[in-house]
Amino acid sequence: MKQFWLQFIYSFLVLCARHYIKRTEIKVIGITGSVWKTSCRMLVSQVLQQIPSSYKFYTSPKNYNSELWLVFSVFRIEEYSPSIKNLLWVSLKILTIAFFEAKKYDILVAEYGIDSPNDMEQLLKIAVPDIAILTKLDSVHSANYPGWIEQYWEEKWLLLLSAKNKIFVNLQDEYSQDKVHLLEEYSELFWNIDELNLKLQKLSESEIVRSFTYRDKNFSINLIGEENVHYTKLAIDIAEFLWIYLDRNQYNFNFKLQEGRFTIFNKWQNVFIDSTYNAAPESTKLAIENTQVLRDELYENHKIIFVLWDMRELWTVSESAHKSLAKKILSASAIFTVWPQMYEYLKPELEIQKYQWYLKSGLSSRETWKNVKKYLKDNHETQYIILFKGSQNTIFTEEALWCLLTQAEQKRLPRQSESWKSKKDKFFMSV
């Protein structure tokens, strides 16, 4: 009976969202893919907000991308603790907004995430996008898709097929390259190889900017990786499609991404990189590459340390995905692995590559920080760039970095709410 009423409430909330979008004529930019969805969403929305126009844009500050959370994004519900009482209260609030409140924004930038077959169909019942974006596919959630890549791709492709006006597809995604022609004049590729005149500059210990040229205009962003340049460029293309005019020769975009997505801390003459929100094969490789770029361009006297955890939700492709990292990490002076799979899969591959440096495995993230700190103490005359990267469930990578930061810096890590802290304490007591 409880399940029946929960499903009834969910269905009611979906109807409210559809009614509100239709009544207020809100347009939707929908983003899907396996990796980089959130970074793409945050960058696109923040670029569009920083270019003067008549539009008001909104995107959730939280990682809302499933059915209920997409509804919450439509109604700008940013705080919610699951309970029957809270669900009834928020349902009443949504009902009031859906039928009586004036429009608060013109364009919603939303994330469409799927875990299982038919998830995308349910999301499209809530909001059909006017503009659709496909980032990149990866092997996460592959257990739910037996012939995972084709089936998973077709599920993601539903978002593009439903788009009313325009579709942007990542040129680097090999599974989409042969399919994009099916969308004909509505599609446009991004992440291409334009000559952008990329430059990385360190303005201060806490401020690093990437500058580039695009459409005969100069831009700078306070983020490192080239993927952020391409998402900024994508947002500029969307602005042009929306008839938003860029009338200046120089634009300096200041971005705030969610925690755990390549946040940089300078500590004890070392550079710590917090990329602990989650880890999939493609995002892990990109974090490794960006760490190497950062060292090569700005910290050439530093050596590299990788602190890597198991990547989860890979199932049958787990072994090959972990092994594929081996050649990517040979530039490191030391590698710390946590949990058994990363170590078991990487060690023989590194031996094949004749990796002769320091490799150490730990049992938990709260123990690993001691190993890292001891290594830094034993090698205190050397400066390092240290990347922390791993999945979240039963791993909580940020705990290894948490112990190395000040209290103010700790607040910038992911999963620092009281509910998360309680969950992590219970987990580590059982390890």
CATH number 3.30.1330.40 is the correct assignment for the domain at 2-253: no
Residue 250, pLDDT score? 94
Q: How far apart are CA 140 and CA 57, in angstroms?
A: 30
Q: pTM value? A: 0.85
More confidently predicted of 260 and 48: 48
Residue intervals of the chain classified under CATH 3.90.190.20 are: 263-430
126 within 8 A of 64, measured Cβ to Cβ: no
Cα distances (angstroms) measured from residue 119 to each of 113, 139, 156, 176: 8, 17, 10, 20
Q: What angle do CA 79, 81, 86 make, to 5 degrees?
A: 95
Residue 323, pLDDT score? 82
Residue 185, pLDDT score? 64
Domain 263-430: top CATH class: alpha beta
Q: Among the listed ranges 51-55, 89-93, 154-158, which one has the minimum average pLDDT value?
A: 154-158
Long-range contacts for 270-273 (Cβ within 8 Å, ≥24 apart)? 270/302, 270/376, 270/383, 270/384, 270/385, 270/386, 271/299, 271/302, 271/384, 271/385, 271/386, 272/386, 272/388, 272/401, 272/404, 272/405, 273/385, 273/386, 273/387, 273/388
Helical ranges in 51-118 per DSSP H = 67-74, 84-100
- HSE of 82 in the Cβ direction (CA atoms, 13 Å)? 4
More confidently predicted of 252 and 345: 252
Both tokens of residue 196? Answer: 């952008």
Q: Is the pLDDT of residue 429 over 80?
A: no
Residue 180, pLDDT score? 67
Q: Is the pLDDT of residue 251 over 70?
A: yes
Handedness of CA 37, 63, 275, 309 (dihedral sign): negative
Residue intervals of the chain classified under CATH 3.40.1190.10 are: 2-253
Q: Among the listed ranges 20-29, 96-105, 152-161, which one has the minimum average pLDDT value?
A: 152-161
pLDDT, mean of residues 85-92:
87
Q: How far apart are CA 245 and CA 248, in angstroms?
A: 9
More confidently predicted of 330 and 27: 27
pLDDT, one tens digit per residue, over 321-357 is 788 888 888 888 888 887 777 888 888 888 877 776 6
